[in-house]
Structure 1
Amino acid sequence: METDNSSSEYSGDDYYYTEVTPVSVKQDPSYDARDIARILSVVVYSLTCLLGILGNGLVIAIITFKMKKSINAIWFLNLAVADFLFSIFLPLNITYTAMNYHWVFGAAMCKLNSFLLNLNLYSSVLLLMTISLDRCVSVVLPVWAQNHRTTTLACLICVFDWMLGLAMSSPSLVFRDTTTHQGNVICFSNYSLSRNKSDHPLGMKRHQTVNIVRFLTGFLIPITIITVCYMIIVFKLKRNRLAKSKKPFKIIVAIIVTFFLCWTPYHVLHLLETKHDQVSHVVFMIGIPIATALATANSCMNPILYVFMGQDFKKFKVTVLSRLVNALSEDITHSTLTQRSFSKMSSMTEKETIVL
C-alpha cells in the first residue's frame, strides 16, 4: 500500500527525508548529492563495522584476560562492550543503505537496529559522564576516594548506567516501524502510531518531545557536567601540581572530545528536524545520512585513541597489544593524589606533636 508522500509524516531518525519527498527523483536537483551521501555513508559504515568489531573485541579480550580488575578497566570495558554490541549490527545499516534504503529485515529488526544506535549513544555518554565524575572526586577528595572508590561500586554504577540507557532508548521499540514507499520498504519512526492523518498533530508532538529529550539527556546535560568536572580537575591539578602522569587524563579527554565531535551534527540536525517546515528539505536529505554515519563512526574510535595516545606510541617496536595495555592501565593520578594527601596529613600531625 502506498503511503502519504508528506515528508513531515516520516520525519525522524535515519534518512526519512531521503526516502519520502513529494518531488520525484528525476525532478529533484539534489539527487546526485543524495546519492553521493548514500555512497559515503556505506563506506563509513563498512570501515566502522570492521574497525569497531576488531578494535573493541581486542579491548574486551585484553581487559578480560590480560589485566587485573581495576576501576579504570571497568570503565573502559563497558565502553568497549557498548561499541562492540552496536558494531556487530552495523551490517544491517550497510545493507539498507547500499540497497537505496530498502529494508529487508522486518519490523522487529528495524526497531532493534534503531534501539541499539540510541543505546550506544546513551550508554556511552552516561559512562563518559561517570568517568568524569569519578576523576573529579578522585582529585578533589582523594582520601575519601581511597576509602570508598571500589570495583564493586564501579560495577554497580555501570549496571545503573546500562539500565538508564535501556530506558532512554525504549522509544525506538515503540515508534520504529516499516512501510512501503515507491516500491521500497523503509524503516522510519511512526510517531503517530497509525496511518490516520487525524493523528498527525499528536505524532508531531511526540516527535518533538523525543528529539528534545534526546538532545538534553544525550548531549547538553552530559557535556555540561563533563565540562564542569574537567574544569575543576584542571584547576586543582594546576594549583597543586599533583599529577605525575598526564597519560590517562589525555586519553579520557580525547575520548570525550571525539564522542561529542561525532555526535554533535546528529543532535543538531534532529533538533532542527522538530522545526522541519522552517529548514530546507535538502539539509535533511543530505545531512541526516552523513550525520548518522559520523555518529556511528564513534563506535570504532576509542581503540584507535588508546593506541595513538599511549606513552609508547613513538616506539614503533612496541606492539599494538602493548600499547593498548599501556593505555588501559590504571591511572597514576589517583594514587599520587592520595599519597600526597596522606603525606600532608602526616606532616601536619608531626607539627602538632612537636608543638604539644
Structure 2
Amino acid sequence: MSSELGIRVFHNTSENHCDFDSSLIITLVPPYILVISVLGIIFNVYVLMVFCLHKKACNVAEIYLSNLAGADLVLVCCLPFWAEYARKRYDWPFSESLCKVSSAVIYMNAFCSIYFLVLVSIDRYVALVHPLSHERIRRPFYAKLGCLFVWGLGLVFALPIFIYRKLEFNSQSNLTGCELDFNEHQYVAYEVITIIFSFIIPIIIISFCTVRIFQSLSNRLMEGLNTKKMEQKATTLILAVLLAFLICWVPFHVTKILDVLRYTRILKCNITRTIVQQVSVYFAFFNSVLNPILYVIAGKNFRRRAKELSKQWNNKTTETFSLMSTRMTTLRLTKSQAAL
C-alpha cells in the first residue's frame, strides 16, 4: 500500500506506482501538518476577524481576500485527520464519512483558493487597466456573487471525490486505506480535467492580468502619472499573494501532470519524481499559512484595519470595565446606606 499522503488526498493510488522507502515521510509529515494546521487556523481566524468585525465594510479586493482566508481556514482544519492517518502508517482510524468529507473539503478549498485569486487578479486588472469604463462592475454586490459562484463551482468539482472516496481494507498489509475507487481510465480523465480547470485556465488568466497590470503601472510611471495610493497598496498585496501562490502550488501541479503522463505510460516510473511530488504537496499546504503573513507584511490597508479594530476593542473593553466599576461602586454605596 502506498504511503503517499498527497496522492491519497488528491487522487487514487494504483498498482502503477513507484515504491520507495517512506519511513522518513511518515516520521516528518504528521508534526509538519499539525504545525501547518495550528498556525493556519490562528492566522486565518485573525484575518477573518479583521475583515469581518471591522466597522468599515470590505471593498471588492478585501471580499475576495476574506473568502480566500475562509478557504484556507477550512482546508487547514481538515489536515489533522490526514496527519493522524500518516502517523498510523496510512491506516485510516476514522469513519468512512469523515474519509469522504475531509478529502472532498480539502480538494474543494484548494480549488476555490485559486479561483478567488483569479477574481482578485481580474479586479486589479480592471482597476488599473480599465479604471473608468469598468467601474460599475467593481461593486461589492458583484464581488459577493462571484464568490458564491466560486464556492458552488468548487463544490461541483469536489463531488466525485466525495462519491468515490471510500475505505478499502488491504489484507496483505492489514491496513484500511481511505482511497478513491477509480480505475486507471477514470483517474486519468479526472486528473486531466482537474489540471485544465484548476491550473492551466487559472494560470493563463492570472498571467494575462499580471502582465497587463505591470504594463499599466510602468506606462503610468513613464508618463509621470500617479496611481491612487489605495490602488497601489492593494496591488502590492495582491501581487505578493499571487507570487506566493505560484511558488507554492505550481510545483504540485507540474508533478501532477508528470504523474498523469506516468499513468498513461508516456513517462517511466522515477523515484526522484515521486519524492518531489510528495514534497510539493506538503509545500503547497504551507500557502494557507503564508497568505495571512503576507497580509500583515505587504498589506498596509490590512494593518490599518487591524490597528483600528484593536483600538475599537480596547475602547469597548475600557467602557465595559468602567461600567462594571461604576455599578460595583453604586452597589457598595447602596449597601452602606442600607447598613446605616
| TM over 0.5, shorter chain | yes
Q: Percent identity?
A: 27
The corresponding residue for 1:348 is: none
Once the two structures are TM-superposed, the CA of residue 152 in structure 1 deviates from its matched residue by 0.9
Question: CA separation of 1:188/1:17 partners in 2, compared to 1, >3 Å: closer, same or farther?
Answer: closer
Higher RCO by CA contacts (8 Å cutoff, separation 6 or greater): 1
8 Å contact kept, 1:136–1:230: yes
5 Å-filtered alignment, 1:1-356, equals 13-14=8-9, 30-31=20-21, 34-69=22-57, 70-181=59-170, 182-191=173-182, 203-241=183-221, 242-245=226-229, 246-274=232-260, 275-276=262-263, 277=265, 278-280=267-269, 282-283=271-272, 286-311=275-300, 321-322=306-307
Q: Deviations over 1:91-134 (max 9, x none)?
A: 10111111111111122211212211211221111111011111
Alpha-carbon distance in structure 2 between the residues aligned to 1:49 and 1:152: 32
Unaligned runs of 5+ in 1: 192-202, 326-356
The CA deviation at 1:297 is 1.7
* Structure 1 CA distance for aligned equivalents of residues 217 and 17 of structure 2: 58
Contact 2:44 2:72 in 1 (8 A): yes
Cα distance in structure 1, aligned partners of 2:54 and 2:272: 47
Checking the alignment, whether the CA contact within 8 Å between 1:107 and 1:178 is kept in structure 2 is: yes
Letter of the 2:165 counterpart: R
Give the conservation status (yes or no) of the 8 Å contact 1:15–1:285.
no
Select between 292-301 and 86-95 the one with higher mean Cα deviation: 292-301
The alpha-carbon deviation at position 12 of structure 1 amounts to 5.0
Shift of the 39–248 alpha-carbon distance from structure 1 to 2, 3 Å rule, reads farther
The alignment yields a C-alpha RMSD, in angstroms, of: 3.1
Distance, in Å, in 2 between the alignment partners of 1:52 and 1:221 is 27
Which secondary structure does the structure 1 equivalent of 2:90 belong to? Answer: coil
TM-score, with length taken from structure 2: 0.78
Pair 92,151 (structure 1): closer, same or farther in 2 beyond 3 Å: same
Question: Residues 185 and 236 from structure 1, CA distance in 2 versus in 1: closer, same or farther, beyond 3 angstroms?
Answer: same
Distance 1:166 1:92 in 2: 20
**1:216 & 1:51 partners in 2: Cα distance?**
31
Secondary structure in 2 matching 1:142: coil
| C-alpha separation in 1, matches of 2:140 and 2:147 | 10
Q: How far apart are the structure 1 equivalents of 2:111 and 2:15? A: 28
Task: Report Cα offsets for 1:221-253 as digits up to 9, x if no partner.
Answer: 111111111111111222123425433222111
Kindly provide the amino acid, as one letter, of the partner of residue 106 in structure 1.
S
Unaligned runs of 5+ residues in structure 2 are: 311-340
Distance of aligned partners of 1:111 and 1:312 in 2 relative to their CA distance in 1, 3 Å threshold:
closer
Secondary structure, in 3 states, of the residue corresponding to 2:89? Answer: coil
CA contact (8 A) 2:11 2:187 kept: no
Q: How far 1:281 sits from its partner (Å)?
A: 5.7
Report the equivalent of 1:339.
Answer: none
Amino acid at match of 1:184: L
Q: Residue type of the partner of 1:224? A: I
Deviations 1:282-334 (A, max 9, x none): 34653443322222222221111112224599xxxx99943999xxxxxxxxx
Which letter does structure 1 place at the counterpart of 2:207?
T
Residue 48 of structure 1: how far off its partner (Å): 1.1
Q: Distance in 2 between matches of 1:146 and 1:289?
A: 44
Q: Helix, strand or coil: the match of 1:213?
A: helix
The 1-side partners of 2:17 and 2:56 are apart by: 58
Asked if 1 retains the 8 angstrom alpha-carbon contact of 2:54 and 2:305, the reply is no
The corresponding residue for 1:200 is none
CA distance in 2, matches of 1:19, 1:288: 16
1:149-189, CA deviations, whole angstroms, 9 ceiling, x for partnerless residues?
21111111111111111112222012212212211111121
Report the alpha carbon displacement of residue 20 of structure 1 after superposing the two structures with TM: 7.0
